[in-house]
Each structure stands twice: as C-alpha cells, then as structure tokens.
A and B are shown apart, each in its own frame.
Chain A
Amino acid sequence: MTITTAPAGVSLRGVGRAFGDHVVLRDIDLEIAPGEVTALLGASGCGKSTLLRMIGGLDLATSGSVRVDGHDVTGIDPRCAVVFQEPRLLPWRTLAGNVALGLPRDLPRNRRDAESRQWLAEVELHGFAGHRPRQVSGGMAQRTALARALARRPGVLLLDEPFAALDALTRLRMQDLVEDVQRRSGTTVVLVTHDVDEALKLADRVVLLGGAPTGVSVVLDVPGDRPRDHHQPELAALRSELLAGLGVPRRTPLERETHAR
C-alpha cells in the first residue's frame, strides 16, 4: 500500500508560551521544510512537548506565530496527527476501531474497516484488527497508535516521546518502523525526545532546547543518509556535543578516578 500524503512545512516565529506569570518557552524561531525529520531534544520539563502540542493546535502560543503549510494554527489542526507517549487507545474498541478514529470523516462506512486494516498492516499488525487494546503488548498498542495517526494522512506527523515507555528492544524496532514509514510516505516528522541516540538515528536535524525560559540553544544538521546507525563514528562528536548541551558532559577516565576517591 502506498501512503500518499502531501508533506507540510512548519514555521515557528518568535513563539512563546507562558502559564500565568511563568514563562516556559520564549522566542522560538524554527523553520521545518516539508518532508524533513526534526528532533526536538531537551531535558525533562523543558517545554518540548508543549512546543509540539502548539504545532498540533492542542495548545496555543501566548506570543509569536505557529504556521503549518503557510496557515496559522488556531486550533486542532487537521493537517497534523499526534502520537503520544502512551498509546491512549479506546479500550472498548478493537484495534481496527481505534485506527478508524484517524480516518477521514467523509470516508464511506463500508470502506472504513478495510482502510483501518490496511493501516494496521502498515505497522505490521495484520491479523490483529479484531483484538482489544488490553489483549496486545505495549509495543503493539503503540504501533496501533501510529497507524491511527497515519490514517489521518497527516502533512506533519507529531511524535511526543512515542518510544519512551517501551522496553529497549521494542523501542529499537519501533524506531526502524517509523523510519520506514517516513521514508515511504515522505511526511514531515517532528519528534520530541530526550534520547540523544534516538534523535541522531532518526532526524535530519536536531534542535536542542535549553535555558530558562526555554529557547533554541543549538540547531545541528545530522550528517549521512538515513537509515543510519547511531554508532557511526562521525556521529560520536555530535553525540558528545548534544549530551554536553543537555548537561551531561563526557567524563574522562581521570574524572572517574577522582570520583572514586
């Protein structure tokens, strides 16, 4: 099955978000080209999820402008689809029923089930259409959530730490799956993560968020074509730089000795 989506660009200009007097994000400027995969990297609680939610229209900026495909985002945006950290499936619906939530509203009834099944196959879940969410593993539930997002044929796929709650092996498989799906669909992806390796593996560009209130600290282009392996030697320097930016400086053997003493 071919995934036909028209990738959309995202443009953030001077975006800020305050909760009352508490300013969380300030002066975020970012241009994301159609079809680009961008990772928003930052420490826990820095506001990276808030930024993602503002692109999807789940939250509104208190200053600046958020535009998707050249149009201001003023509410829930039909061009975006979100995958959250938790699968958030409706437990009373089958997996196919959950995917159907993402299908276009005008799709005729008799085609909805078949379409849902096709999207499930897209995330390697053929044969599980009739299962209930509580009957499948966490990884399968999260894949269903991804299928639900894909069914929306989004111009921008928003991933809010979608692998954070998965075990290490499942996480690696999910990353490969997202990478495959992105390559076939060409959709724009914004990925929120605090995992440097994940960002280096999946993204074309890594945006490091930091400071208080949070702003863009560094924007780095990741060299090499995808799919890539985060153990590639040319990524080692980037990795150290990003980790240092997150407040985890590389420790030398000497330092380790000092700590031991």
Chain B
Amino acid sequence: MTLIEATGADEETAKPVRKRAAGRNWRLAAAGLVLPVVVLVVWQVTAASGLYSSAQLPSPLSVLDALGELAGDGSLWTHIAISVQRVVAGFAAGAGAGFLLGAVVGLSARARAFVAPSIAALRAVPSLAWVPLLLLWFGIGEGPKITLVAIGSFFPVYTTVSAALAHADAHLVEVGRAYGLRGGELLGRIMLPSVAPAIFSGLRLALAQGWLFLVAAELIASSMGLGFLLTDSQNTGRTDILLMAIVLLATLGKVCDVLLGLVERRVLRFHK
C-alpha cells in the first residue's frame, strides 16, 4: 500500500519537474539566438547609417536579396550541392582512413613506433601547403579538392582514435579477455564501444576541419562551390554575395555538426 502511494506521489512530482526542465532547455536554446540577432541589428543599423558604402558593407536585406537572386537562377543550389558533395566524400575517405590507421597505431605499440612520428610530422604541414602539390598531381578536377578535405578530416580522427584505444579502460579490456574475447571480438565488443565518445568528438572535429579545408581548396582552384563564390564575388565587387556565402558556410557547418550530434546522441545514449 505504501509502495503504491509512494509511486503515485512520485509521478505527480515528477511531471512538473520534467516540464520545468524542458522549459529550461528551450530557454537555453533560445539564448544561443540572442547574439546573432544583436549582430544582425547592429549590422543593419551600421549599414543604414551611411558610414560605409554598400560595396563595403551591404545591408542584411541586400544579402537576402542576393540569396534570392542566386536561388532564383538555380546557381545557388549547384554551388551548395558541389560543396556538400566534396565535404561528404572527403570526410568519408579521410575519417575512414584516420579511423583505420588510428586503430592500428592505438592497438599496436610496434605500429605506433614505426608510423606515429611520420604522421605527426605530416600533420604539422599547413593545409594550404598541400594545394600546389595536389593541383600538380591531380589536375584541377574534383580530385585535389576531395583529397584536401580528406587530409583535413584524417588527422582529428586519427589522433583521437589512436589515443583513445591506447588508453582504453584496462579493467574492461581485462574482463573481456577473462571472458574469452580476443582480437576482433575484443575490439568490437569492448574496446570500440568503450572509446565511442572519443571517436565521436574526433568525427565532429574532423567534419568541421573538412569544411575549413574545403574552402581552402575552392578558393584557389575551382569554378563552382561556396569557396569559389567567395573569390568570384570579391573579383566582381559583389560584397552582398560574399557575405551570403559566409553566412551559408556558417549555416551548413552548423547543420552538419547538429546532424552528427544527433547520431552521436543516439549511439551514446547509454554511455556515461
């Protein structure tokens, strides 16, 4: 009887708490929008004040017009599609390679001794330094751009996966061994799940870096994509398009991160 009463009381108190927590979450999410709105207002006021010419600082509304213009003739979608395609392909290749090599280096001290110093040296090369070489090797097609994105995505995944696996929870690994798991099974059932949070933070970093390297690639040698839009609008004096491209890059980067974050939440829902 007391038990039933207790659970009844529990439910009654639990509900408002949950509602309050949800309300707080919304308010926290809304808090993130305050700064962009302030920036928009300041931007609009400054642009309208006549302090700068419209070539230097177009108003937010004219940027919106530019968006409409490019969306209208369809070229906007081509630019976005080609950029997204490059990021997705490069990220998949780079993160995949980073994962495999990171796993090998993380699991084998010998492999680490042989490979890790060289990779660390390669990592120190600034991204733009690769561009001339990639152009020379792969021409001006999709090859060099996707490769550059892949290079950018490789290192965060490689670093986090190798470090995490090398320091995977020794207690859990021992349990796995004590209960007969070895090799691939030990890796798949114990080690990878136990380092999954680290892997995801590596993937998110890699995706962000992929966008970074994409713009570097498109700025230098391309005829399509958001990076190309940046240089092209600079050359033609279309500052409104330039700003629009920046806003688009920010939005796409954020959307990609949110999508990956949703996958992460789903996969890690039972991790501490």
Contacts and interface: CB of A to CB of B under 8 A. Distances in A.
A82 interface: yes
Interface in B210-233: none
A148 B176 CA distance: 12
A68 B177 CA distance: 18
Contact of A91 (B178, B181, B272): B272
Interface stretch (B4-12, B32-40, B167-175): B167-175
B60 interface: no
A255 B175 CA distance: 47
Nearest to B272: A91
A76 B180 contact: yes
Contacts, number: 43
B190 interface: yes
Nearest to A102: B179
Contacts of A148: 179
A152 B171 CA distance: 19
A1 B235 CA distance: 81
B193 A90 contact: yes
B171 A91 contact: no
Nearest to A105: B180
Contacts of B179: 81, 101-102, 148, 152
B271 A91 contact: yes
Contact of A58 (B178, B190, B194): B178
A56 interface: yes
Contact of B270 (A56, A58, A91, A152): A91
A134 B272 contact: yes
Contact of B174 (A58, A78, A91): A58
Given A76-B177, A78-B180, 8 more contacts: A58-B178, A82-B178, A88-B171, A88-B175, A92-B270, A101-B179, A101-B181, A102-B179
A181 to B, nearest CB: 18
| A-B pairs with lowest CB-CB distance, top 6 | A92-B270, A88-B175, A82-B178, A101-B179, A88-B171, A92-B193
A132 interface: yes
A84 B272 contact: no
Contacts of A88: 171-172, 174-175
Interface residues of B, number: 18
B115 to A, nearest CB: 29
B207 to A, nearest CB: 23
Contacts of B175: 84, 88, 90, 101
Interface string A58-81: 100000000000000000101001
B172 A90 contact: yes
A35 to B, nearest CB: 22
A101 B177 CA distance: 11
A129 B143 CA distance: 52
A76 B179 CA distance: 8
A86 interface: yes
B14 to A, nearest CB: 16
Interface in B134-180: 171-172, 174-180
B190 to A, nearest CB: 7
A58 B272 contact: no
B180 A58 contact: no
14 contacts: A58-B178, A76-B180, A81-B178, A84-B171, A88-B171, A90-B172, A90-B194, A91-B272, A92-B196, A92-B270, A101-B175, A101-B189, A132-B270, A152-B179
A56 B175 CA distance: 12
A91 B177 CA distance: 17
A92 B271 contact: yes
A82 B175 CA distance: 8
A197 B178 CA distance: 28
B171 A86 contact: yes
A20 B204 CA distance: 44
Contacts of B177: 58, 76
Given A86-B171, A88-B171, A90-B193, A76 B178 contact: yes
A90 B271 CA distance: 9
Nearest to A104: B180
B263 to A, nearest CB: 15
Nearest to A57: B178
Contacts of A78: 180
Interface in B229-272: 270-272
A105 B179 CA distance: 10
